[in-house]
Amino acid sequence: MEAQEPGLLAQEFAEIDAVLARSSKILSGAEAPARKQETSLRDRPDLVYDLDWNEEERLAAWQAVLAETRQFPLVLRAAILLEAWSEIEVLQHAAWLGPLFCAALLRQEGLAAHHFACLHLGAKNVPRERRRARNRGERLLAFLDAIHEAALAGLKEHDRLGLAKNQMARRLRERRASSKLPDLVELVLARPLVSTGMIQETLKVSKQGALNLVGELNLREMTGRGRFRAWGVI
């Protein structure tokens, strides 16, 4: 059963890649792909959806802000787009996509080397009263602070992973050249979680061999379960 986990995880990553690809098209000014018939407004239950909520029109309004701010400094532009996404309320049930779009913009324009998904964490560290202030200038300052907080969180996580890598590197001393332990170190640093199946497939080892390697690195078990466990960096 665990051998199927990498395939399931790959499917999840594929869906995330699809969202990022769609966000890049939207940021470039392209029209969003038409919704499938089965997800049209007519098929949405009015108990949980406002059927008069025109998401396409709201998205077009947000894209207009995207176009109008092209000459702005990048961080200020991202803050304006974050504020506009919150103000326009583009999507009824996926408000979290706004920070992802802005994060994709920061990456697309070269300010961030990797996807800046922790913008959500940065916003969480800024009081809601500031993010929802009546004064637009105060809201923009709050979103700038959110980007700053996200960057600090990313640096802290980078430092934590760097320290963990150094600690694990000590366990690699005097290992045989054929040891799979260095490969496991790289794997756990590149993934938030690794399962037995992922380790087996990536390192080409048996299930018991994967468990032995995990034990040698003293990885933290994250699920608290006896079966279908997953580990991460302490």
Render pLDDT for 101-112 as a digit per residue (tens, 0 to 9): 888 888 888 777
> Do 93 and 204 lie in a common domain?
no
Looking up residue 208, the CATH number of its domain turns out to be 1.10.10
Percent helix, percent strand, percent coil in the chain, to nearest 5: 65, 5, 35
> Do 204 and 96 lie in a common domain?
no
Q: Is 14 helix (H, G, I), strand (E, B) or coil?
A: helix
Domain count, the chain: 2
> Do 131 and 189 lie in a common domain?
no
Where does a domain end: 160, 194, 212? 160
Overall average pLDDT of the 62-91 stretch? 90
Look-up of token digits 């690809």: 21
**Residue 72 pLDDT grade (very low, low, confident, very high; cuts 50, 70, 90):** very high
Q: Is the pLDDT of residue 162 over 60?
A: yes
> Do 154 and 192 lie in a common domain?
no
Overall average pLDDT of the 192-219 stretch? 87
> Do 151 and 183 lie in a common domain?
no
Tens of pLDDT, residues 171-189 = 888 777 778 888 888 888 8
The answer to whether position 49 is within a domain reads no
Where does a domain end: 134, 160, 186? 160
In the chain, % of residues over pLDDT 70: 77
The answer to whether position 13 is within a domain reads no
> Do 102 and 150 lie in a common domain?
yes
Where does a domain end: 131, 160, 189? 160
User: Lowest-confidence range among 43-52, 65-74, 176-185?
Assistant: 43-52
The answer to whether position 42 is within a domain reads no
The answer to whether position 35 is within a domain reads no
CA distance 11 to 112: 26
The answer to whether position 209 is within a domain reads yes
> Do 68 and 141 lie in a common domain?
yes
CA distance 151 to 79: 14
- Reading across the β-sheet that carries 194-195, which strands appear in turn? 194-195, 230-232, 220-221
> What distance separates the 2 farthest-apart alpha carbons in the chain?
67
Q: Is the pLDDT of residue 155 over 50?
A: yes
> Do 146 and 197 lie in a common domain?
no
Q: What is the residue range of 203's domain?
A: 174-232
Higher-pLDDT residue of 89, 37? 89
User: Lowest-confidence range among 11-15, 64-68, 92-96, 188-192?
Assistant: 11-15
> Which residues on adjacent β-strands are paired with residue 195?
230
> Do 24 and 130 lie in a common domain?
yes
